[in-house]
Every structure is written in C-alpha cells, then in structure tokens.
Amino acid sequence: MRFWHAAVWLATLVLLPSVASTQPATAVIAKAAKFTVLSTMLSGMPGAGIGEWGFAGLLEVDGHRLLIDTGARPEAVLRNAEELRIDLSTITDLVLTHNHSDHTGGLLTLRRELSKKNPKALSRVHVPAGIFMSRLGADGREQNGLLPLKAPFEQTGGVFIEHRAQFEISPGVWLLGPVARVHPERNFSTSGRLQTPTGPEEDNVPEDTAVVVNAASGLIVISGCGHAGIANTLDYARKVIREAPIEAAIGGFHLFAATDEQLAWTADRLRAAGIRHLLGAHCTGIEAVFRLRQLTGLARRDAVVGAVGSSYTLGSGIEALSLAK
C-alpha cells in the first residue's frame, strides 16, 4: 500500500473541517431506495444511453429524488435521461461530490433546459466545503472545473449550499461533507496546486464527499470518484451516520490504476465493513471491480461494472442490464 508523505497528510488535516464524533441523534430509516446510473464510461444496453468519462446518477428514496453529479459533457446526462425515459425536471436538489469537470460538466445545460419545464428544477446544489478553492496548473490556468460555472449557474436563479459536516438532505439521505482520511489511501491523480491561505499545496481533492442512504439492512454509499478513498469513505459513513454494514457501495472509487497490493488491502477493508453489493462505475475500473469481486467473495450478481442505465434497488439488488449480465 502506498503511503502518503507526512507533509501531504498534515496539509489534509488543515484543510478538512472538524469531524463529528457522534452519530445523528435521530436516525430516519429509509424504506425504499433506488439508484440509476446516468453517466459512466459504458452503455448498458443497445439503443439507450451513451458512455463518457464522467459520472452522474439519480437517487430515489421514499418519494424524494436527488441527482448526484452531472457527468462530463454538457448534454450527456440530459440525453441519457431522455433515452431512459427518466424525467429530471421534477428534481429540485442535486449534489456535486467534488470540483472535477467530469462531474460538473452537465450542470448548466441541465439547469437551463429543465428549468424551461420547472423553474425550480436543479436550482439547489449541495456541495462540500472547499469545493470552490482554486487549483492552478503548471501553466497558471485554473483547473477547478466548477469555478467557471458558479456565476452563470447563480444567474439562472440557482444557489449553492456548502456543507462542512454531515447533513440530512431528505429523510434518511445524508451528504457526508468532506470525508476524514484515516487510512493512507491515495485515490487521486491531480496535477494542479491547491491555492491555500498558507501557499500552494498538492491538490488531494480535500472536499471529496459521498451521499449515504440509511436503510434498515445497512448503509447505501454513493461516491462520485472516491478521491478520499473507498475505505475512508465507508468508515466515515459508519462513524457519522450509523455503525452498520455497507448494504451497497455505488459509483466511482478511483481504483482503475490500483496495484494488486492496493486492491487486496481494499478488499480486506470492504469485507470488514460488511459489504453486500458493489456497483463500481466510472473511475473504479473494470479490472478493479473483477478483482474486488474475487477478493471479497461477492457473487457475480452482487459485484457489477456499472453502465448507463444500470441500477441498484434496495431489497432486490443490482440490475446489470445486457452488457454486464
């Protein structure tokens, strides 16, 4: 396992907000939940959806609907939703898990197009604290994918709400806020320099967050890229939401370039967290999903490579579609 240098670790501690030490006093248990992938590299079935290097998905819990991330290309999520016959115009709230353009690229197009049908569509964006920090490349250009979109989005009447700690978006659905990094995972590969008050630092995507559904059988964790590390993310969810097994880990976990050693370590942590389902999309990587399935002992139907249109439903599991069955 590759360990962080001490300086990077200390910088991360400075950038992260304080971590809540107790779980929520009132824990609402979700009864029904479904997540559908709307952006990832693969299309799940003929004639519906196009793949891209990006991530987005629709979360539906007990009648509440939430969009998580917006994909990379401006129209990919909009078109994929249309082809899958999913109406996004009734959704008011969305979450952006971090600043990268492959998760924020569809924001303006979605807001502008859907607001023609419903002025409140995607008008409220929940983001983790630190997402608007500047990240400069070697050429001095801004690499924060969300910063150029902030003002135009607000001009449409939309608002951003920053969260420093866990926040209940709807009953039983939580945004974690920036994830504390206890384990030495290095699940990021950014080249920009984070512009902090004390000077430039390596950009380890300190704002990286996830969404958690608190279900009776365990926690459903949806990650955009998992730059904080899948073990850190799952452990943090169990710390601040509820000490429960991981019913499902869904989304991107930035393991596509992980070594065999790193994947074996990760599988150990997944088993320790009691994982039951893995729908690994986007930057999780195809080979990584296969290796984790082997190492965790999950069945083929329970550890699947995510594709556009594939889904997870509480109580019935993963619908892999034609490509991954």
pLDDT tens digit string along 35-82?
A: 999 999 999 989 899 999 999 999 999 999 999 999 999 999 999 999
Nearest to 45 by CA among 102, 76, 83: 83
The share of the chain scoring above pLDDT 70, in percent, equals 92
Instruction: Name the residue with higher pLDDT: 138 or 94.
Output: 94
| Residue 159 and residue 125 in contact, taking contact as beta carbons nearer than 8 Å | yes
Residue type, 253: F
pLDDT score of 13 more than 80: no
pLDDT at residue 93, as a whole number:
98
Neighbour-count burial of 201, counting CB atoms closer than 10 A to its CB (0-12 exposed, 13-18 middle, 19+ buried):
buried
Tell me what the mean pLDDT of segment 179-193 comes to: 92
pLDDT tens digit string along 73-124?
A: 999 999 999 999 999 999 999 999 999 999 999 999 999 999 999 999 999 9
Mean of the per-residue pLDDT values of the chain:
92
Domains of the chain: 27-314 (3.60.15.10)
Q: For the ranges 25-29, 190-194, 236-240, 241-245, which has the lowest average pLDDT?
A: 25-29
Local confidence band at 248 (pLDDT 50, 70, 90 cut-offs): very high
| Residue 320 and residue 309 in contact, taking contact as beta carbons nearer than 8 Å | no
Tell me what the mean pLDDT of segment 149-167 comes to: 98
C-beta atoms surrounding 191 within 10 Å:
10
pLDDT score of 3 more than 50: no
Local confidence band at 249 (pLDDT 50, 70, 90 cut-offs): very high
Local confidence band at 26 (pLDDT 50, 70, 90 cut-offs): low
pLDDT at residue 300, as a whole number:
96
pLDDT score of 25 more than 70: no
